[in-house]
Amino acid sequence: MLYCPLCLENYVVVSTLCEDCKKIKHCISLYSRNKVIEVLNATLIRSNAQILNKCIIYDKDKEDYVKKEGKWVKKGS
């Protein structure tokens, strides 16, 4: 038995990838590697500015903020 070369978590016996990683490979074959990376960067990967903004919000009192149009803003603004 060998580990899946992509996730290094699941064992593979006959196949070259585990079932979860096959789904990722299938998405790449449907949409292209560049499109999958673009979607991952847009949805999962956060820039330093986004991380800093989130830290600032969580460092303040959460009760002072509400979510408007997808952004956290101070109440009364």
Which pLDDT tens digit goes with each residue over 3-30?
A: 888 888 888 877 788 889 999 999 999 9
Burial class (CB in 10 A: 0-12, 13-18, 19+), 72: middle
Which pLDDT tens digit goes with each residue over 48-76?
A: 888 777 777 776 666 777 777 877 777 77
Residue owning tokens 């290094």: 8
Per-residue pLDDT, 28: 93
pLDDT at 31 over 90: yes
Q: In 9-68, which residue ranges form alpha helices assigned H by DSSP? A: 19-31, 33-43, 48-59
